[in-house]
Structure 1
Amino acid sequence: MNVDEEVGRLKEEIQRLGQLQPDGSYKVKFGVLFNDDRCANIFEALVGTLRAAKKRKIVQYEGELLLQGVHDNVEIALLAPPPPSTA
């Protein structure tokens, strides 16, 4: 899988496991994502995929590197897509 494909799958998994927010974003805790069996089978390097998605401004979370156990309660936000322009 290439990086864009993995980031796309990550978006799907955050929507599946996360909670929809009033602004249209989804939020999930890192520990929920990391400990999910389906995610474990999809992502060889979940942390690397998260970093790639953060660089592309698709997800947002505090810090640079998330570690299992230590950062299980860090919220990962899948940012809502911008509204379509009316111009």
Structure 2
Amino acid sequence: MTYDEFLFSVKNEDTLPDGLNVHLQALWYDGKGNWQRAHDLIDELTDVTSAHVHAYLHRVEGDGWNARYWYGRAKQVPFEGSLEAEWDALVKRLVGM
């Protein structure tokens, strides 16, 4: 799936597209405003990509301490831009842009 196709699906589709990895699934649900579903998908995963998405989700939640913890687990510096910019950067990275 391309970046533009992903954005289109978030804005215009009611069901999760087939073939998305768990990280993109979580970002899709977050993009639809379903933070809890997004977090549930990532919560028990321990790889660095999941940790990065997890950090972003805790920023969305407003839990800075927890977000910093997950950035550390992801081996990433905490993102300092807007939530929208981080979501966009994560999606672009995960679709291979």
TM-score relative to the length of structure 2? 0.28
Q: Which has the higher contact order (CA 8 A, sep 6+)?
A: 1
- Greater strand fraction, Structure 1 or Structure 2: 1
TM-score relative to the length of structure 1? 0.30
- Greater helix fraction, Structure 1 or Structure 2: 2
